[in-house]
Amino acid sequence: MNQAMPDTQTKNVSPANGRRVLVEVKNLKKHFPIKSGILFQREVAAVKAVDGISFHIYEGETLGLVGESGCGKSTTGRTILQLHRATEGSVQFEGEEITTLKGEKMRKMRRRMQMIFQDPYASLNPRMSVGRIVAEPLVVHNIGTKKERDERVAELLEMVGLNPYFVRRYPHEFSGGQRQRIGLARSLALNPEFIVADEPISALDVSIQAQVVNLLEKLQEELGLTYLFIAHDLSMVRHLCDRVAVMYLGKIVEIAESEELYINPLHPYTQALLSAVPVPDPVVEEQRQRIILKGDVPSPINPPHGCNFNTRCPVSVDVCYDEDPELREVLPGHWVACHRVV
- Residue 11 pLDDT class (50, 70, 90 cuts): very low
Q: Report the alpha-carbon distance of residue 158 to residue 6 in Å, rounded.
A: 34
Q: Are 302 and 316 in contact (CB under 8 A)?
A: no
Q: Where are the alpha helices (DSSP H) in 117-232?
A: 130-140, 146-159, 176-188, 206-223
Q: Read off φ and ψ for residue 14, nearest 5 degrees.
A: -75, 125
Which residue(s) pair with 251 in the sheet?
248
The b/e string for 116-139 (b: 16+ C-beta within 10 A; e otherwise) is bbbbbeebbeeeebbbbbbbbbbe
Q: Report the alpha-carbon distance of residue 335 to residue 21 in Å, rounded.
A: 17
What is the pLDDT, as a whole number, of residue 211? 86
What does the pLDDT look like over 225-248, one tens digit per residue?
Answer: 999 999 987 888 888 999 999 999
Contacts of 293 (CB under 8 A, 6+ apart): 269, 272, 312, 314
Whether CATH 3.30.470.20 fits 5-112+192-336 = no
Say which DSSP state 274 is in.
Answer: H
What is the pLDDT, as a whole number, of residue 8? 36
> Which is more confidently placed, 212 or 81?
81
Q: Report the alpha-carbon distance of residue 34 to residue 47 in Å, rounded.
A: 7
Q: Specify the pTM.
A: 0.89
Q: Where are the alpha helices (DSSP H) in 32-129?
A: 73-80, 103-110
Q: Report the alpha-carbon distance of residue 192 to residue 113 in Å, rounded.
A: 5
Give me the mean pLDDT over the 25-46 stretch: 87
Q: Read off φ and ψ for residue 101, nearest 5 degrees.
A: -75, 140
Half-sphere exposure in the Cβ direction for 296 (13 Å, CA): 4
Max Cα–Cα distance, the chain, nearest Å:
67
Instruction: Give the angle 186-105-151 at the CA atoms, nearest 5°.
Output: 30
What is the pLDDT, as a whole number, of residue 13? 54
What does the pLDDT look like over 145-197, one tens digit per residue?
Answer: 999 999 999 999 999 999 999 999 999 999 888 999 999 999 999 999 999 99
Length of the chain measured in residues: 342
What is the pLDDT, as a whole number, of residue 10? 38
Q: Report the alpha-carbon distance of residue 180 to residue 182 in Å, rounded.
A: 5
- Residue 3 pLDDT class (50, 70, 90 cuts): very low
pLDDT for 71 beyond 80: yes
What does the pLDDT look like over 244-287, one tens digit per residue?
Answer: 999 999 999 999 999 999 999 999 999 999 888 777 767 766 66
Give 171: exposed, middle or buried? Use CB within 10 Å, 0-12, 13-18, 19+: buried
SS3 category, 185: helix
Contacts of 5 (CB under 8 A, 6+ apart): 94
Give me the mean pLDDT over the 123-148 stretch: 93
> Which is more confidently placed, 199 or 206?
199
Which residue(s) pair with 248 in the sheet?
251
Strands 243-248 and 62-66: parallel
- Residue 17 pLDDT class (50, 70, 90 cuts): low
What is the pLDDT, as a whole number, of residue 2? 36
Q: Which of 25-39, 271-285, 307-321 has the lowest mean pLDDT?
A: 271-285
Q: What Å distances lie between residue 19 and 57, 60, 83, 104, 300, CA to CA?
A: 10, 9, 28, 30, 35
- Residue 89 pLDDT class (50, 70, 90 cuts): very high
What is the pLDDT, as a whole number, of residue 80? 96
